[in-house]
């Protein structure tokens, strides 16, 4: 089960991570920067790149109904079947955290207000868009029909480990703990999404379009407007939320070890300076100490 899960995750990660990296590469190419808080509001200028990145986020974080959810389903099943309940809970928590930090990324680049210098930015060139669309199509197809990718993987693993723990009944993958049907999962998610969207639209009360405006505080404009961007000091919310868990103890420990090693190396370097007279002095001192030691004996 572990090998099946690992190979499935490796194959599907290639698909949606490829989409995300190509999308980010297009945004960096068009804006001329890799600093996220210098971007923003690119959704209207680069809609295809946005959709590609959004689908990649949904898949990578394991949210239904895309291939990433199937990978997490396989992972949870493998861990629970092994009796590793703590690891299963940790992986479930990691999925939620992955969605949160990736959402901050897509918000920083594509949502919010555009910078003045990016109002004429064009969509990424076709040599970046075409592979994104191909990978997007593959993700959708494998999400609806997971057998297309799981059948060869299970055949490969089954040749060495006959008791795989998974088996297909039609398009449904069945195990001792439950089942997963890609098409049914997509139908359920789409129905729930449409119902929520209809409820939200029905309860809107005179929505207004908010245009871009200058961000000010205390009646003064900030010295650097970029510092008010959503992505500036990106990890500050996590430091406030998690407190002592993200204070970098391991980083400080390794910094201390590196400092100690540098100090010791500096002391040794003063002894072994490369000067011939210093080395001659070391030899004389060594012989003198050895003579005194042997004389005492």
161, 85 Cβ separation under 8 angstroms: no
Band (1; pLDDT cuts 50, 70, 90): confident
Return phi, psi of residue 273, to 5°: -90, -5
Q: Which of 78 and 237 is assigned the larger pLDDT?
A: 78
Sorted by where each begins, the domain ranges of the chain are 2-202, 249-296
Question: Rounded to whole angstroms, how far apart are CA atoms 90 and 245?
Answer: 15
18 contacts 55 by C-beta, under 8 angstroms: no
Q: What is the pLDDT of residues 85-133, one digit of tens each?
A: 999 899 888 888 888 778 878 888 888 777 878 888 999 999 999 999 9
Q: Higher model confidence: residue 279 or residue 243?
A: 279
186 within 8 A of 141, measured Cβ to Cβ: no
pLDDT of residue 139: 92
Query: Sorting pLDDT into bands at 50, 70 and 90, what band is 187?
Result: very high
Q: pTM score, two decimals?
A: 0.69
């Amino acid at each position: 089960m572990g090998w099946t899960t690992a190979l499935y995750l490796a194959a599907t990660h290639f698909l949606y991570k490829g989409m995300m990296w190509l999308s980010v590469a297009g945004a960096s190419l068009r804006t001329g920067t890799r600093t996220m808080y210098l971007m923003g509001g690119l959704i209207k200028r680069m809609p295809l790149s946005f959709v590609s990145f959004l689908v990649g986020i949904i898949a990578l974080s394991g949210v239904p109904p895309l291939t990433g959810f199937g990978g997490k389903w396989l992972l949870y099943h493998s861990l629970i079947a092994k009796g590793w309940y703590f690891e299963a809970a940790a992986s479930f928590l990691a999925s939620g955290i992955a969605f949160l930090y990736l959402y901050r990324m897509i918000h920083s680049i594509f949502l919010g207000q555009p910078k003045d210098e990016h109002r004429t930015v064009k969509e990424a060139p076709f040599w970046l868009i075409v592979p994104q669309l191909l990978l997007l199509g593959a993700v959708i197809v494998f999400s609806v029909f997971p057998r297309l990718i799981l059948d060869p993987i299970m055949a490969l693993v089954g040749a060495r480990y006959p008791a795989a723990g998974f088996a297909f009944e039609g398009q449904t993958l069945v195990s001792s703990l439950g089942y997963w049907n890609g098409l049914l999962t997509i139908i359920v998610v789409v129905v729930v999404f449409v119902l929520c969207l209809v409820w939200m639209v029905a309860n809107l009360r005179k929505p207004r379009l908010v245009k871009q405006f200058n961000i000010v505080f205390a009646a003064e404009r900030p010295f650097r407007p970029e510092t008010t961007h959503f992505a500036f000091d990106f990890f500050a919310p996590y430091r406030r939320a998690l407190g002592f868990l993200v204070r970098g103890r391991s980083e400080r420990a390794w910094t201390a070890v590196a400092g100690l090693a540098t100090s010791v190396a500096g002391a040794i370097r003063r002894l072994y300076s490369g000067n011939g007279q210093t080395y001659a002095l070391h030899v004389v001192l060594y012989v003198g100490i050895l003579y005194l030691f042997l004389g005492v004996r």
